[in-house]
Amino acid sequence: MAEDAQLSIVAPEEQFMRRLFQSYYEKVAPDSVSPPEIARREFGLGTWDKKIESRHFAFRDAQALKSYLVRNTPFYISYSAAYYEFPDGRPMPRKGWMGADLVFDLDSDHLELECMKTHPKKFPCANCLSAVREETMKLIEDFLVPDFGFSKGEISANFSGNRGYHVHVRNETVRQLAGWARRELADYILGAGLQAKSLFYSRVKGKLEGPTPEMPGWHGRIARRFLQLLQAGKLTEAGVEQALARRLQKNAAKVSEGIIMRGNWDTVRMNGPEKDLLAQKIIDSAGIHIEGVGRAGDEVDVGVTFDVSKLIRLPDSLHGETGMAARKIAKVGDLARFEPMNDAIVFSDAPVKVKVGEAPAFVMGNQTFGPFKNSDVELPEFAAAYLICKREAKLWK
């Protein structure tokens, strides 16, 4: 009995954070944390120790959801991209699947950025957050709107509350897509299986001809990406051999004009193997983030996209690993101006004393904190909460 009582003791940090979370949910408008067609959604809830501890929850309306959040205050709450006839049914086949939104999950730790070698993964830096925001914008502006034909009114985006963004497409055409069809969409975004011979071709005397920037789909994307790298002097980052990169760079104006005007990729003398390698390297690097090494779309968690019963973070709910909101971005066009370490803060700047184990310097609320190592400090509530949720700080009196 004494052992059981000891196990049930809740750490003061968990109690402190639960009070803060509860205070947030008491103030939030019910509609703010309610997804469309809430009565058709399944919900999953997480504890201080686990992001999804239980699922198969359902709520009849926004007020019922808010009341639950205030009374029970989970540290994580996710909801289904899917719509169900009986969302609280179990096992899964009894729910009666009715369709699902198309969802994309982008996370900075998928980008393999150079900066990630200098800080812990759980502490994304400004460069990490900027890079994943750029990839999210690229997904929308380069794929979902021009290639798939979705309108921006059918697309919504929200910060994940931690390291990335979630993009939701609500459209009757995609609602009924099976998992394999969603995987096809993800593969297209990934550029899976693209080969040089399908986009580049040789005509008279082996002349290398290929896409121009105004072409639709991957053709135009590859041409634009090459020109971007050429203008930035970063061809070697795409894997182009250094000597060839220098020749192309030296003749950048002529090379650009040939590609833009005629699709002529052969304005600089190259041998056959160089042509083949250049074409494939540009395909492999199309959409690459200059600071990273991933291909376009590699930043998308495809498992989220084709799993038609996946649970995804509830927009405007709080994230138990940061104490920040999974903030909805009002309009897709506002994404470029969104700064999560400012705009997703929900707690006050009241001083809180904490003992910090180890944390790198981070910028939050336009202030720089740290680095810390075994430090007793007084921090604004939002920064203290961030470190407590990261399990790097404890309350200190």
Q: Is 101 a residue of the active site?
A: no
Edge-first strand order for the sheet with 43-46 is 54-57, 43-46, 76-80, 311-313
Q: Give CA separation, 105 vs 10, 44, 136, 319, in Å.
A: 33, 17, 9, 15
Is 276 assigned a catalytic role? no
| CA atoms of 319 and 158, how far apart (whole Å) | 13
Torsion over CA: 53, 169, 92, 300 (sign): negative
In the residue annotation, 88 being an active-site residue is answered as no
Q: Which of 101, 107, 266, 307 is catalytic?
A: 107
Using alpha carbons, select from 125, 89, 155 the residue that is nearest to residue 364.
125
Kindly name the residue from 187, 276, 301, 343 that is annotated as catalytic. Answer: 301
Question: How many CB atoms neighbour CB 181 within 10 A?
Answer: 14
Least Cα distance to 136 among 120, 117, 155 occurs for 155
Q: What b-and-e string marks burial along 84-94, b requiring 16 or more CB atoms within 10 Å of the CB? A: beebeeeeeee
CA 272 to chain centroid, in Å, comes to: 39
CA 324, distance to chain mean position in Å, is: 15
Nearest to 339 by CA among 363, 316, 317: 363
Active site residues: 105, 107, 301
